[in-house]
Chain A
Amino acid sequence: EAQVTQNPRYLITVTGKKLTVTCSQNMNHEYMSWYRQDPGLGLRQIYYSMNVEATDKGDVPEGYKVSRKEKRNFPLILESPSPNQTSLYFCASSLMGLGEKLFFGSGTQLSVL
């Protein structure tokens, strides 16, 4: 089954404790992206990657890092999480970056205390 898998689904952590949210897709998509969803603000893009070793900033990249060492994986790294990064995070992948081919994961609800 074609899917985007994020882990964990829920995460509670404390300020400053490094964490990684994993994302994996099994569709051989070139394009992968991370979004955060906040009430009243919709979906905002954090980082995206057009292919292996090719990453670029989205609209809200501050406080986040990503890497794309393999085509299927695109982890999101918070080196020093802060409470304003409490949010619902979505990973997505797409064939050639086309929005109509965009598949989303089920989300990671992160709480930073």
Chain B
Amino acid sequence: GQQLNQSPQSMFIQEGEDVSMNCTSSSIFNTWLWYKQDPGEGPVLLIALYKAGELTSNGRLTAQFGITRKDSFLNISASIPSDVGIYFCAGQLNSGGSNYKLTFGKGTLLTVNP
């Protein structure tokens, strides 16, 4: 099946620093998604990207859909303690009809030191 390589695996940063993480794929996707998982909870959608080259922001978060359709990155500016959690990328491919195959990266664990 499709493989998503997400990096880095973990990050330890100081409050106020900017953060960058990315995902690369062995094949193309129609949609890139970024989720955040707070401790003890299920993942929640942060940003959805639908077109190659698209750059989308959600508050302090910015994500881009790579031109090749095989990669995406997520930036968090001016990090705060509540940014702590696991961030997942996911690629979605509509392989025909209503069969949307969703593949997740392995996650980036973010720790923010106050």
Contact = CB atoms under 8 A, between A and B. Distances in A.
Nearest to B106: A42
Interface residues of A, number: 24
Contacts, number: 57
A106 B99 contact: no
Please classify how large the interface on chain B is, using the bins under 10, 10 to 19, 20 to 34, 35 or more. 20 to 34
B88 interface: yes
B40 A107 contact: yes
Contacts of A44: 104
A109 B6 CA distance: 24
B33 A50 contact: no
A102 interface: yes
Interface of B: 1, 6, 9, 31, 33, 40-45, 48, 88, 90, 92, 98-100, 102, 104-107
